[in-house]
């Protein structure tokens, strides 16, 4: 499991975000190296199959690009997959970008507000 390293990114993107998977989809993940360290993504990455209805719990990160002296675009750190009745801890960086995640409404539906609201209601009920 990789530790989450945010990079130079706004703190609102460092909190957890939840996305419902709208179609079966295979997400690429970094296996042994971090995204910014990959030289050849075809040999050093893995993948995880997601099913329609799964919820992914993610945070976003950027990595430093020493050749240009800048930070990359924002990518996802896949923390957990929530399947019906189970949680699958992942803890890996992915090459799936924030821009791609937000642009593909037919693949991913942002359900963060629903999860945050439900957590607040549960907290009030449990008190």
pLDDT in tens, the chain (127 residues): 778 888 888 888 889 999 999 999 999 888 776 666 655 555 557 889 999 999 999 999 888 777 788 888 899 999 999 998 899 999 998 888 999 998 998 999 999 999 888 878 888 887 6
Where do the domains of the chain lie? 11-126
Question: Which phi and psi (to 5°) does residue 40 adopt?
Answer: -140, 100
* pTM of the full structure: 0.84
User: Helix (H, G, I), strand (E, B), or coil: what is residue 68?
Assistant: coil
Q: What sign has the CA pseudo-torsion 14, 103, 80, 46?
A: negative
Q: What residue has token string 């209805």?
A: 53
């Amino acid at each position: 499991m990789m530790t989450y390293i945010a990079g130079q990114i706004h703190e609102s993107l460092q909190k957890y975000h939840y996305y419902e998977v709208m179609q079966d989809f295979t997400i690429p993940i970094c296996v042994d190296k971090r995204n910014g360290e990959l030289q050849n993504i075809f040999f050093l990455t893995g993948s995880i199959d997601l099913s329609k209805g799964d919820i992914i719990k993610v945070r976003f990160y950027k990595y430093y690009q020493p050749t240009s002296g800048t930070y990359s675009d924002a990518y996802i750190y896949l923390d957990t997959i929530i399947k019906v009745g189970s949680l699958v801890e992942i803890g890996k960086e992915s090459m799936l970008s924030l821009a791609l995640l937000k642009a593909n409404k037919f693949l991913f539906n942002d359900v963060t507000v629903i999860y945050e609201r439900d957590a607040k209601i549960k907290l009030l009920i449990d008190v």
